[in-house]
Copies of this chain bind each other. A is one copy, B any other.
Amino acid sequence: MPSALEQLRARLAKIDDLENAAAILEWDQETHMPSAGVEARSRQVSTLRQFAHELHCEDETARLLQTAEPETEIDKDLLRVATRDFHHATRIPADLVGELSRVTGMAREGWKEGKANDEFSAFEPHLAAVIDCNLRKAEALGYPDEPYDALLDEFEPGMLTSQVSTVFEALRSDLVELVGQIAQKPTIDEGVLTRYYPAKAQWDLGVRVMTDLGYDFSRGRQDRSAHPFSTTFSVTDSRVTTHLNRHHFNPAFFGSLHEAGHAMYEQGVDHELDGTPLQDGTSLGIHESQSRLWENLVGRSRPFWDHYFPAVQGYFPAALSGVSSSDFYRAVNAVRPSLIRIEADEVTYNLHIMVRFELERAMLSGEVKPADLPEAWNARMDDYLDVTPTTDSEGCLQDIHWSLGTFGYFPTYALGNLISAQLWTAMERDCGNLADLVANGEFATLLGWLRQNVHRHGRRKSANQILGSTCGTGLDAGPWMDYARAKFGELYGLA
């Protein structure tokens, strides 16, 4: 008779298998599936997720979680994380799950219509329903201080709204000031980025650089999809996708670095954790810190382009002959306040996120009513970025997230940026001058440090624990702000 711990592990492995199978079906849907297959595919994915959910919520899972006796430190972490997941899966009552599904089904249609016709009123009642459902969900899940804590915790376990808020508040004024200073300076010419970049050369370059950084193609692969993403089916199979735009250098190149960053995190998880709920990134913020570290702190740095530009010129002789490494470095770092988050540069991106975080929190607390969202949105865009949407489609209707019912997700994008700079500082303390390593293409030291301090732990350590053990602090915007001031100060010749 297997012990309760063994039975629990077997049960969790099965749940994991079902979830990973669903992820494989979704990957296929985005990369290879003939379009006619979509209806059957939705049914298949839904069946797998339903089986996983049912197995997860069975009383037997609760019984095993209560009776299993941990033998190792990993067992203890496993029980803690699995118990957390069990509560998340079971605490939301079935009628609310149904209601959420119904409300978001309609909200998505309302959002599509509103965005297409620039008519916020088409989305407004659905937004109210989404907020109501999220409040009920927060009550069901429980929270320490405010409802938003419960929603944030789904994506960023253990992080408190107040922690995020304090850090964002401090960052915001510094950032608005920096953006204002940059706006006084001449713009950087980005024309070189929109020349003709043949698709095959983009693909080959991406594969070469990902390989150099340390993405292991023997445990992964790259395919094309409409929107780039990374997805993991096991420690030995973590994949990325890319989208090639022949008339813009950035999407495929920086997209590949970004997704490779996510996938290298998953590839670095300790193999002992395979088939358990510990085998996964610990939070979306930490996950995003990995993608942003490779995309921006490495991939948009001067030493990176000093190292790679001659090779990149070889891939695109027509587009890049006569261009200097320095000009190209400047182009990929141009700061340009704009209305649309997904087009935002490294500096202004965090401000787009703060707008959303503040408004989500204000809508949950009732401080901002759904009807007042457009005005509140536009006022913040004006304050923070000095741009004002002329339509709601390019304003508060631009993102799909709220129509999916997702509140608490947006801040993790900015957390990723901040954490990437915190980790960078700790890495520099431990490994010496990182710029020299990047300039020499010696990425193994960086990846090794990340593996040792972040990746291998999977979900055994929370974001706060990782920050504590590497940086000796909690979440802190200081390192990122220092980095941004230095980099963009030099680029734009600020005082």
Contact = CB atoms under 8 A, between A and B. Distances in A.
A240 to B, nearest CB: 12
A236 B44 contact: no
B275 A37 contact: no
A40 B219 contact: no
A390 interface: no
Interface in A227-282: 233-237, 274-275
Given A18-B47, A25-B21, A40 B237 contact: yes
A341 interface: no
B34 A237 contact: yes
Contacts of A217: 34
Contacts of A28: 24, 28
In the A-B complex, the 4 residue pairs with the smallest Cβ-Cβ separation, listed nearest first, are A40-B234, A37-B237, A17-B47, A36-B236
A423 B296 CA distance: 64
Interface of A is mostly: helix
Contact of A34 (B17, B24, B236, B274): B236
Contacts of A221: 32-34
Given A21-B48, A28-B28, A43-B13, A34 B219 contact: yes
Chain A interface: which size bin? 35 or more
A18 B48 contact: yes
Contact of A274 (B40, B48, B51): B40
30 contacts: A14-B47, A14-B51, A17-B44, A17-B48, A18-B48, A20-B40, A21-B22, A21-B47, A21-B48, A24-B25, A32-B221, A32-B223, A34-B218, A34-B219, A34-B220, A34-B221, A36-B218, A36-B219, A36-B237, A37-B219, A37-B233, A37-B234, A39-B236, A40-B234, A40-B235, A40-B274, A41-B233, A43-B275, A44-B234, A48-B48
Interface string A29-64: 000111111011101100110010000000000000
Nearest to A22: B21
Contacts of A41: 233-234, 237
A229 to B, nearest CB: 16
Given A13-B43, A17-B47, A39-B236, 17 more contacts: A17-B44, A17-B48, A21-B21, A21-B22, A21-B25, A21-B44, A32-B223, A33-B221, A33-B237, A34-B217, A34-B237, A35-B218, A37-B233, A37-B237, A40-B235, A41-B237, A43-B275
A48 B20 CA distance: 11
Contacts of A25: 21, 24
Nearest to A19: B44
Interface in A334-370: none
Nearest to A43: B17
Nearest to A37: B237
Interface in A37-94: 37, 39-41, 43-44, 47-48, 51
A8 to B, nearest CB: 16
Contacts of A39: 236
A217 B34 CA distance: 8
Contacts of A35: 218
Contacts of A274: 40
A371 B47 CA distance: 48
Most buried by B among A33, A37, A221, A233: A37
Contact of A233 (B17, B40, B51, B236): B40
Given A24-B24, A24-B28, A233 B44 contact: yes
Contacts of A34: 217-221, 236-237
A47 B22 CA distance: 12
A373 to B, nearest CB: 39
